[in-house]
Amino acid sequence: MSVTIKSEREIGLMREAGKILAKTHKELANALKPGMSTWDIDHIGEEIIRSYGCIPSFKNYMGYPASICVSVNSEVVHGIPSKKRILVDGDIVSLDAGVIYKGYHSDAARTHAIGEVSLEAKKLIEVTKQSFFEGIKFAKEGYHLNDISRAIGRYAENFGYGVVRDLVGHGIGRNLHEDPEIPNFSRKRRGVKLQAGMTLAIEPMINEGTFKVVWLGDNWTVVTGDGKLSAHYENTVLITKEEPEILSI
């Protein structure tokens, strides 16, 4: 498959999907509190998504059993919601959600603090978010994909953080995962030339310590190699001739 350019009609639908996803994330953030389980978050998230007439993209995707990926502390991504996993004061939790609106996907992730967290945890969350915004300074027609990747990776590495290499962002549209792959670190190749109408899910996954990650026995949950914290921040972005349009914010 190659990178698709969306029509005005498709962009309109992706705008709607993105708006609904942004609202979902806001409502989920307001619902978070110590004592709730990661299953509760998934349940609430699925209800919100369906209340807007959307389908949760992740549910049953490649066999993933839930609507929201809930990843706590050293879990990087794809944590599986569980009634046994209870959030406590001081945890950080990454929520990754996707919605389908009239056949079009939007994908976004946020990392939140539960109650009072350490200064180190706060900083990791902030830097991860900012690395996304550093990256999208180059999300404009005429730049190359690697300009985005390099900006994200450089920014996070300046803080001594580990930039996850085994998982990447992706094109998005009629499918959750489309070309191109979007690494969060610089590669030798410039990658595709960005063109107005491309829609990209840009998603830095940043670790406090090593960039290395490990898959748990459930074959989904990805954790840091050293047990230190990890944060995730993602939005669906439309490339234009000028500033990028962040669809899921």
Return residues touching Co ion (CB under 5 A).
107, 201, 203
Which entry of ligand MF3, Co ion, none binds 70, CB below 5 to 8 A by partner kind? none
Residue with tokens 């705008």: 15
> Among 56-64, 114-122, 130-138, 235-243, which window interacts with ligand MF3 (CB under 6 A)?
56-64
Interface segment toward ligand MF3; rule CB under 6 A; list 26-34, 55-63, 137-145, 191-199: 55-63
Q: Is 61 in the site for ligand MF3 (CB under 6 A)?
A: yes
Helix (H, G, I), strand (E, B) or coil at 80: coil
Q: Is 87 or 168 the residue whose CB approaches ligand MF3 more closely?
A: 168
Beta bridge partners of 181: 170
Short-list 191, 209, 114, CA closest to 149: 191
> Cβ-count burial of 112 within 10 angstroms (0-12 exposed, 13-18 middle, 19+ buried)?
middle
Here the tokens at position 33 are 């509190």
Nearer to ligand MF3, 4 or 123 (CB): 4
**Residue 62 interacts with, from ligand MF3, Co ion, none (CB under 5-8 Å by kind):** ligand MF3
The answer for 87, left when phi > 0, alpha when psi is -120 to 50, beta otherwise, is beta
Choice from 64, 133, 143, 159 touching ligand MF3 (CB under 6 A): 64
Strand 75-77, strand 222-224: pairing: antiparallel
| Footprint on this chain of ligand MF3 (rule: CB under 6 A) | 58, 61-62, 64, 69, 78, 96, 98, 107, 170, 201, 203, 234
